[in-house]
Amino acid sequence: MSVFDNLFAAKSQSVGIELTPNRVNIVQLQQKSQRTRVSAFASVPVPEGAYQDGRITDAEAIAEVIRQGLVENKIKARHVTSAVPVGEAVIRLIRLPAELDDFELRDMVLNQEAALYLPFPREDADVDFQRLGIDIDEDGIERVEVLLVATPKEITNGYLNVFDLAGLQLKVLEVSSFALIRTLRSQLLQFVAGEAVALVNIDADGTEISIVMDGVPQFNRKVPIGTQHLESALSRAMNLPSSMGSDLLRDMTVPVGASGDLNRANNPSAAAILRMLGDLSDELRRSIDFYLNQGANLEISQVFVAGTGAGLGQLDEFFAQRLGLPTTIVNPMDAIGVPDFEDVPSAQRPALSVVMGLGLREA
Asked if 149 and 26 count as a contact pair (C-beta separation under 8 A), the reply is: no
- Whether residue 159 sits in one domain with residue 59: yes
Quick check: 135 and 87 in contact, CB under 8 A? no
- Which uninterrupted H or E stretch holds 98? none
What CATH number should be reported for the domain holding residue 101? 3.30.1490.300
Q: Which of 51-65, 155-169, 266-280 has the lowest mean pLDDT?
A: 266-280
Q: How far lies 104's CA from each of 97, 99, 115, 184, in Å?
A: 10, 9, 16, 34
Q: Report pTM.
A: 0.90
DSSP state for residue 225 in the 8-state scheme: -
When mean pLDDT is compared across 56-65, 272-281, 292-301, the lowest value belongs to 292-301
Same domain, 165 and 74: yes
Please indicate, yes or no, whether residues 166 and 294 belong to a single structural domain of this protein. Answer: no
Split into its structural domains, the chain has a count of: 3
**Sheet architecture: strand order including 216-223:** 216-223, 207-213, 196-202, 300-306, 327-329
At residue 324, the pLDDT reads: 95
SS (H, E, C) 233-268: HHHHHHCCCHHHHHHHHHCCECCHHHCCCCCCCCCH
pLDDT at 225 over 50: yes
Interval 192-220 mean pLDDT: 94
The answer to whether residue 266 is domain-embedded is: yes
**Residue 57 belongs to what domain range?**
15-88+154-190+336-362
More confident position, 169 or 261: 169
Q: If pLDDT is split at 50, 70 and 90, which confidence band does 10 have? A: very low
Residue 137 shares a structural domain with residue 247: no
- The pLDDT mean for the chain works out to 89
pLDDT at 224: 94
In this structure, are 321 and 251 located in the same domain? yes
Q: Does residue 61 form part of some domain? A: yes
Q: For residue 265, what pLDDT is reported?
A: 57
pLDDT confidence bin for 363, thresholds 50/70/90? low
Percent of the chain past pLDDT 70, that is, above it, reads 93
Residue 228 shares a structural domain with residue 247: yes
